[in-house]
Amino acid sequence: MTPQIKGLSNLRRNALLSIKGRIMGKTEISIVKPAEIESASFRIIEEELRQKGRTIPEDLKHVLLRVIHTTADFEYLDTMGFS
């Protein structure tokens, strides 16, 4: 039997439930869209690179940001080759 959560009957297909933890004995649940997670992650990665004085060429930016986001490995910036 799948537990029912009140107020989530209109949850869209492109959303995830994120359980943030227990607050005052209650579990806090929020609806998170994967695109929002990715967008925030890309901003964080770009900021970290900026702080290190690194830039990504515009034509490779989306691919490299996605690879770093997926792997959490900033070394791909130096080791990934394109042809």
pLDDT in tens, 11-62: 555 556 565 655 566 666 677 788 888 999 999 999 999 999 999 999 999 9
In the chain, which ranges are continuous DSSP H helix? 34-51, 58-71, 76-79
Assign 16 to helix, strand or coil. strand
Q: Where are the domains of the chain?
A: 16-79
Q: Is there a contact between 55 and 27 (Cβ–Cβ < 8 Å)? A: no
**Full-model pTM:** 0.65
Which carries the bigger pLDDT value, residue 70 or residue 11? 70
Q: Is the pLDDT of residue 81 over 80?
A: yes
Task: Name the token pair of 58.
Answer: 């515009």
Write the DSSP symbol of residue 74: T
Burial (CB < 10 A; 0-12, 13-18, 19+), residue 68, is buried
